[in-house]
Amino acid sequence: MSANLQEILENIKDGETCLIGGGKFDIFPEHATSADRFYPGYGDKRNYAFVIKNKKNITIDGQGADLIFHGAISPFWITNCENVTLKNFTLDYAVPGYVCGKVTNVTEDYYDLDFSAGEFCADVDENGSLHFFAPNGEREAFIRYTIIDELDGETHIPLYNRYFLRLDPFEPGALLSHMFRMTSFEKVGENVIRVHVQLDLTHENRHKVGNYIMFDIAGRNNVNFQFDRCTNVHLENIDMYASLGLAIITTNCKNLYFNSVNSVTRKNSGRILAVKDDVFHLVATKGEVVAENCILENMKDDALNIHSFYPTIIERIDANSVIVEIICPQDKIMDFYNNGQKLMLLNSDMSDTGLVYTVKEHAYVSDKQIKLTFEESLAEAVCAGCLFDDSHNAATLLVRNCKIANTLGRIVVQTPAKAVVENCSFKTVGSAITVNGRSKTYSESAPVSELIIKNNRFCGMGARPDILTATGCYNPENKIIHGKIVIESNDFTSCDG
């Protein structure tokens, strides 16, 4: 990694503008900062290339710089900053976080994948794990459990055919266990792997010879941009050609502005995927969020997901304190809470209790458990199984003049504040826009109070070309939980139109 560039960025002073000067930078993990973030010793450290803390009124202008990252490294971690702007650069990884194999044979009991044309070699080790490794030694993975996606062999457009392959047994009822498929791997040729799994050959989206099967080999431990407890964040004119996980995560931030922040593949790279997971994943955000003039293509998860969260009480400690647990693995070790923050208590069926408590202290006690101490004494109704809701603190959302295409992803609106999606174009396999009520599946949802969808162009491509999917529409008392949803002056056309 360029130690000089690291030193320049991390030592920027309040009120300064750092001009990188363009050019290509190959950035390696040798000089990276290894951080536990919020819970020391939890064993899931991230290596950050650039760590910027406690700054005000700073600008980092790449002036066309091309940043190429090598190995398992997260480019930016920016925390507790105010009025920060990053602009005018591209971001890529020398070796991607996914592998694609071409389907060469399909039967009821297995399918064969040829990995010869990709950036990884494929093998099966003595424990039966699927082993991928880059010839230059920069990245490898041993697969016993992974999500797979199918892509059209010619267009590389994702198909709505995804599930998890597992070598090891699992507990019924585990998160997403309805998508688990028991499997075994067999090497049947040079870089050719046979995947033994029961297939439904009558299903319209069954695997087809000539299509590609994509394996996630990087997980979600590394992100391109991590913002924690920042105010007035501006990202402008940034092309992301790759990510190893979610591209942009923000937690406990206020006022986020994204202009021409793009997920696109590098020209002539031969790669199928740009951002591997969500482009924008915005958690516990306040104030306002504006995303405009963004091109969000070739990713396999959400274009934008803005959400609240519903941690579950697992133990009541005393009259003022409880232990809550984060259900979704990707939300572990996120800086959710503020002292003085008010939380609404929900019953175990996610109905309202009418009780509100003020956070006095908060601290992680494990990688996914938080101790919350409140200023008020807790009512007897506060017990294991209840949940806390922070959605009343949520930000407004404006998505304008954006292009979302060639993706399974969508805009996921899980905020009760006003949300507007206008003058955008959608070419998605599934729903273009999703709203959820209160749900325990990910504990990320919240009902919308006002959603306006206007002057957009929609072009569905797959078996589920929905414009809007609304779930969790009723609460346990059978009352409608969502507010006003307006869909007006949109264009609905065929893919060829």
**pLDDT given at position 83:** 98
Q: How far is CA 272 from CA 144, 159, 164, 266, in A?
A: 24, 13, 20, 10
Would you state the structure tokens that stand for residue 40, as one six-digit string?
């020391």
Torsion angle, CA of 399/404/408/411, rounded to 10 degrees?
0
Q: Which residues of the chain have pLDDT under 70?
A: 1-3, 37-44, 160, 200-205, 329-333, 439-443, 445, 460-466, 471-480, 494-497
Answer yes or no: are the C-beta atoms of 9 and 60 closer than 8 Å: yes
**pLDDT given at position 308:** 80
- Angle at CA 222, nearest 5°, toward 147 and 438? 60
Q: Using one digit for the tens of pLDDT, what is the confidence trace for 421-480? A: 999 999 877 788 888 777 666 667 677 889 999 999 988 655 555 677 776 655 656 566
**pLDDT given at position 323:** 96
**pLDDT given at position 497:** 42
Q: Using one digit for the tens of pLDDT, what is the confidence trace for 193-203? A: 999 998 766 55
**pLDDT given at position 492:** 81
Q: Is 34 helix (H, G, I), strand (E, B) or coil?
A: strand
Any residues with CB less than 8 A from the CB of 376 and at least 6 apart, and which?
Answer: 320, 357, 358
480-484: long-range pairs with CB below 8 Å, 24+: 481/437, 481/438, 481/447, 482/435, 482/437, 482/447, 482/448, 482/449, 482/451, 483/416, 483/447, 483/448, 483/449, 483/450, 483/451, 484/449, 484/450, 484/451
| C-alpha–C-alpha distance, residues 198 and 181, integer Å | 8
| C-alpha–C-alpha distance, residues 221 and 276, integer Å | 12
| C-alpha–C-alpha distance, residues 164 and 402, integer Å | 31
**pLDDT given at position 475:** 60
Would you state the structure tokens that stand for residue 355, as one six-digit string?
């009780």
Would you state the structure tokens that stand for residue 296, as one six-digit string?
């969000």
Answer yes or no: are the C-beta atoms of 399 and 408 closer than 8 Å: no
